[in-house]
Structure formats: C-alpha cells, structure tokens
Amino acid sequence: MPFLTRTVTDERDALAAFAAQQIRQIATTLQGLDARQLRATPSASAMSLGALARHVLFIGEHGAFAELTDPGRTPEQPQDGTDRAAGAVLPEAVRPADTAESLRAALLALADRVEAALRTADPEARIPVPEAPWFPPDLDTWPARWVALHMVEENARHAGHADILRESIDGRTAYELNALADGEERRPEG
C-alpha cells in the first residue's frame, strides 16, 4: 500500500485515487493491533481506532457518500451503536466480533468500491443531500464532484486522527505502517 497516492490521468481518476487512498491510510493504522489496542482511547479524543474505523465505514455506507458508490440505495438504520441522527459513531460502536483485521478488510473493500465508483461517476451528476441538522435546509443536491472532494477532506481528517491515535498506542507512525503494509520490515531510511 503505497504511502503516496498513485499518479492520476484525469479528473475522475484523481477523485477516485485520492478518495480511496485516504480510506486505505486509515486501514493501514489498524494493522497488528490486538483487541485492547483497537478499543483504546490513548489521547484527548474519546475515539478509539476501532470506533474511528466504524465511523469511516458508516460515512462510506450511508448518505451522500453511499449514493456515489451505490446510487439509489436506501440504507437501513444501523444497529451497531451508530447515532444515525447525529451521523457520528459512539465509542461503543466497536462490535464484540470486530478485530483490527476485520475492520481493515472492510475499509479496504470500501476503498475499492469508492475508487471503482468514482472512476466512472459523472462529476456533474446530482447527489441528494442527506437530512441532517448540519446541512443547509434549502439545499437538495450536490454535484458528485463536491461529494467526492468532501469525501477526500473528511477521510483525510480521519486519517490524521488515526495516525495520532496509533502513535499514541505504540509509537508506530504512518511511514513505518505503510512500509509494513508493503511487506517491508521497517520504514525507509531518511
């Protein structure tokens, strides 16, 4: 899993590559964690890496982001500790059966779906604005381009948060974790 986003060829490819890369970077932070570490809250944040992964999965599977990957789908109300009305994931959202590897696999699958969908999405297509108190009440749709860029923005914020949580847990940083994901024993020198 390369640390840098791959070279892109056009707008759709760029939207796809950058949106998927941020999700993959979050997945990278989960490798090698045990159950206790997955649920640890080692910083000022009340969020654990497991809850953060659940949140990213939630935003990728519901609302405007889901409309990009599965147009017209009506997602069912989650039963996993997700506060649907607030669009947030509570710390208890990590399920008993969740492992770092199961969440990592789910995030990588989401990244693949996002990348495939955005490669073919019409950037001008209109995506319905989900009902939520933080979205403008007079706005019915967004262009798919805006939704994709917001996905990059949202998940980049979460990737940085995940980096801080992981480093607080065991001192491992994004460079080392990406090297491990690529099968290297340690991060490159320099």
Q: What pLDDT shows up at residue 167?
A: 96
Q: What pLDDT shows up at residue 180?
A: 86
Tell me, yes or no, whether 64 lies in a domain: yes
- Comparing CA positions, the residue from 182, 30, 11 lying closest to residue 94 is 30
Tell me, yes or no, whether 188 lies in a domain: no
Tell me, yes or no, whether 7 lies in a domain: no
Tell me, yes or no, whether 4 lies in a domain: no
Counting residues of the chain whose pLDDT is more than 70, the rounded percentage is 85
CATH number at residue 76: 1.20.120
SS3 state at 88: strand
Q: What pLDDT shows up at residue 134?
A: 83
Q: How far apart are CA 175 and CA 187, in angstroms?
A: 6
Tell me, yes or no, whether 115 lies in a domain: yes
| Residue 3 scores a pLDDT above 80 | no
Tell me, yes or no, whether 186 lies in a domain: no
Number of structural domains found in the chain: 1
pLDDT in tens, 23-65: 999 999 999 999 999 999 999 988 999 999 999 998 888 777 8
| Residue 88 scores a pLDDT above 60 | no
Q: Which domain holds residue 58?
A: 12-181
- Comparing CA positions, the residue from 6, 41, 187 lying closest to residue 111 is 6
Tell me, yes or no, whether 150 lies in a domain: yes
pLDDT in tens, 112-137: 999 999 999 999 999 998 887 888 88
Whether the Cβ atoms of residue 103 and residue 55 lie closer than 8 Å to each other: no
CA angle 63, 125, 7 (to 5 degrees): 90
